[in-house]
Copies of this chain bind each other. A is one copy, B any other.
Amino acid sequence: MLHINEHYLKLQASYLFSDIAKRVAAFQDANPDMDIIKLGIGDVTRALPGACVAAFHKAVDEMATDAGFHGYGPEQGYAFLREAIAKHDFQARGADISADEIFVSDGAKCDTGNFQELFSTDARVAIPDPVYPVYLDTNVMAGRTGEFRDGRYEGVVYLDSTKENNYVPELPSEPVDLIYLCFPNNPTGSTITKEQLKTWVDYAREEKALILFDAAYEAFIRDDSLPHSIYEIEGAREVAVEFRSFSKNAGFTGTRCAYTVVPRECVAYDSQGNRQPIHPLWNRRHCTKFNGVSYPVQRAAEAVYSDEGKAQIRELVGYYLNNADLIAKAVGELGFEYVGGKNSPYIWIWGDRDSWEFFDLLLNKAGVVCTPGAGFGKCGQGYIRLSAFNSYENVARAMERIRQALA
């Protein structure tokens, strides 16, 4: 008799986006003429950059001839892309990362979800709250947590991100082995300074822990003092893996390309206490359970690093940042406390009331959809998230409506 992995039964069904959809549908039914503006989701809305489109077409044309055809590629990604990434995203910023430390994949969700497989099931895991749910759910599936009680899984060390710590969690008060961090943060839009990140790197070195650093939103950083990569911090090569994505810089959410950086010095330990390098473990996992990213997609991603591509991406991200700035100014003028909106496409707003109540208020009074913060964890209660991923015109109209509704 085949038995299931019973840890799956601990998973909480997420009704967040289906609940949002239901409330929006009900409001639309009651107000058929209302043009609802959606600032809830974290998905980009604008076309792929021209440089990526041109490279994409060119590669599809190669695949159309026997001579130019590409079959199975290297599971880790083609050298042309790994080298471009190492050079432009790391070496150009003084971060010493080489091409063979880059693993190209089809998504940061997959990589942040899969990476925990390399470690023992009794590893003690530290996860921020509020948080992107994948970190938590994949550790539940792996059996690193107990049951869900009072809004939290037993056995997880939650890293509270609150007004009090300016949405950058403090070091845990109990020992942990595997630490998830995400900056610029989803959902709060908060950022971390080099000094703050250094305290985490030092902590991980001290504890022989590993930091899984999700930098999917790094392209939104405009403040030169903020780190784009954890490898800008001394000592990070030994204790940090970094996740990056083409989803939010080049709009690849529907095109699918990302990468993970695993420095050669990163280690964990076997039960005898021997150092075990993580790079060969991830390489083995990647080669066994993954078969490489679509060749035309890798060519499209490579174009991100051309001069034309770089300019287009700066413009694309700048467009969303301009939206974020507009949202931040508007909510600030209305007297709300908020974080984000600078160096991030998200604005995290303290409503001083239940998250869903705030959601209903914006929907019913202004026809604007946000995401209730409670959907991201216990510390999200009382907050909502607004996203800059929409047209400038829609964002401007949404802010004007909110101003009229709440002023």
Binding site for B on A (CB under 8 A): 1-6, 8-9, 11, 43-48, 50, 53, 56-57, 60-61, 63-66, 68-73, 106-107, 109-110, 113-114, 117-123, 133-134, 137-138, 141, 177-178, 207-210, 251, 253-256, 268-271, 273, 276, 278, 281, 284-285, 288-297, 391
Pairwise interchain contact B47-A64, C-beta atoms closer than 8 A? yes
Pairwise interchain contact A295-B141, C-beta atoms closer than 8 A? no
Given A109-B290, A294-B294, A69–B43 Cβ distance below 8 Å? no
A183–B210 Cα distance when bound, in Å, is: 42
A210–B8 Cα distance when bound, in Å, is: 18
Residues of B within 8 A of A69 (CB): 45-48, 251, 254
Residues of B within 8 A of A292 (CB): 254, 256
Residues of B within 8 A of A64 (CB): 47-48, 50, 53
Pairwise interchain contact B296-A56, C-beta atoms closer than 8 A? yes
In the assembled complex, the CB of A274 is this many whole angstroms from the nearest CB of chain B, namely 10
A5–B280 Cα distance when bound, in Å, is: 13
Closest 4 CB pairs of A and B: A113-B289, A3-B120, A70-B254, A43-B71
Task: Enumerate 16 A-B pairs (CB-CB under 8 Å) in ascending A order.
Answer: A2-B210, A3-B120, A3-B268, A4-B118, A4-B276, A5-B118, A6-B120, A45-B69, A48-B63, A48-B64, A56-B60, A60-B60, A106-B106, A110-B290, A134-B288, A138-B289
Residues of B within 8 A of A46 (CB): 66, 69
In the assembled complex, the CB of A346 is this many whole angstroms from the nearest CB of chain B, namely 16
Pairwise interchain contact B120-A4, C-beta atoms closer than 8 A? yes
Residues of B within 8 A of A60 (CB): 53, 56-57, 60, 296
Pairwise interchain contact B113-A2, C-beta atoms closer than 8 A? no
Residues of B within 8 A of A210 (CB): 2
Pairwise interchain contact A138-B53, C-beta atoms closer than 8 A? no
A271–B202 Cα distance when bound, in Å, is: 43
Q: Which of B3, B9, B11 contacts A119 (CB 8 A)?
A: B3
Residues of B within 8 A of A113 (CB): 288-289
Pairwise interchain contact B123-A3, C-beta atoms closer than 8 A? yes
Most B CB atoms within 10 A — which of A2, A270, A271, A281?
A2
A137–B134 Cα distance when bound, in Å, is: 25
Most B CB atoms within 10 A — which of A44, A69, A110?
A69
Given A2-B123, A2-B208, A47-B69, A109–B255 Cβ distance below 8 Å? no
Pairwise interchain contact B295-A255, C-beta atoms closer than 8 A? yes
Pairwise interchain contact B57-A43, C-beta atoms closer than 8 A? no
Q: Which of B65, B271, B284, B295 contacts A3 (CB 8 A)?
A: B271
Pairwise interchain contact A256-B47, C-beta atoms closer than 8 A? no
Pairwise interchain contact B43-A66, C-beta atoms closer than 8 A? no
Most B CB atoms within 10 A — which of A53, A122, A253, A295?
A253
A280 (CB) vs chain B CBs: closest residue = B8
A353–B296 Cα distance when bound, in Å, is: 43
Q: Which of B63, B72, B253 contacts A72 (CB 8 A)?
A: B253
A65–B118 Cα distance when bound, in Å, is: 40
Residues of B within 8 A of A276 (CB): 4, 9
In the assembled complex, the CB of A285 is this many whole angstroms from the nearest CB of chain B, namely 7
A70 (CB) vs chain B CBs: closest residue = B254
Residues of B within 8 A of A65 (CB): 47
